[in-house]
Amino acid sequence: TQLLEQSPQFLSIQEGENLTVYCNSSSVFSSLQWYRQEPGEGPVLLVTVVTGGEVKKLKRLTFQFGDARKDSSLHITAAQPGDTGLYLCAGAHRGGSQGNLIFGKGTKLSVKP
């Protein structure tokens, strides 16, 4: 079973601070997705990264896929209370079924005003 480990598990910061969360695996993934989940709702896709070393930006969020496609990071600049939520990474395994994603357990982020 391939595992995606996310760290830290919990993160509580003040508004305006920067932060980075990580998603690591010993397996190679053909692509990796990041989702954000708010209480009482389902996860919502933020971004998909496909190429090793790829960097994608979504406003104050910067996503990077590791060169070996085994890990990824999410960096948030000047965090705001609206960024609060559970951040999940999910990997698609090369050669596996086209439908299946492996999810990490997530990083629960709390941004205090």
Residue 53 near other proteins by CB under 8 A: no
- Return the number of other C-beta atoms located less than 10 Å from residue 42's C-beta: 7
The two tokens of residue 82 are: 């609206």
In the complex, the smallest distance separating the C-beta of residue 112 from other proteins, rounded to whole angstroms, is 22
Binding mask 14-33 for other proteins (x = CB under 8 A): ----------------xxxx
> Which of 20, 27, 48, 62 is close enough to bind other proteins by CB under 8 A?
48
> Which of 20, 62, 84, 103 is close enough to bind other proteins by CB under 8 A?
103
Q: Give the range of 20-28, 59-67, 71-79, 94-102 binding other proteins by CB under 8 A.
A: 94-102
- Return the number of other C-beta atoms located less than 10 Å from residue 18's C-beta: 11
Three-state secondary-structure class, residue 23: strand
Burial 51-84 (b: 16+ CB within 10 A, else e): eeebeeeeeebbbbbbeebbbbbbebeebeeebb
Q: Which residues contact other proteins by CB under 8 A?
A: 30-33, 40-45, 48, 50, 88, 90, 92, 97-101, 103-106
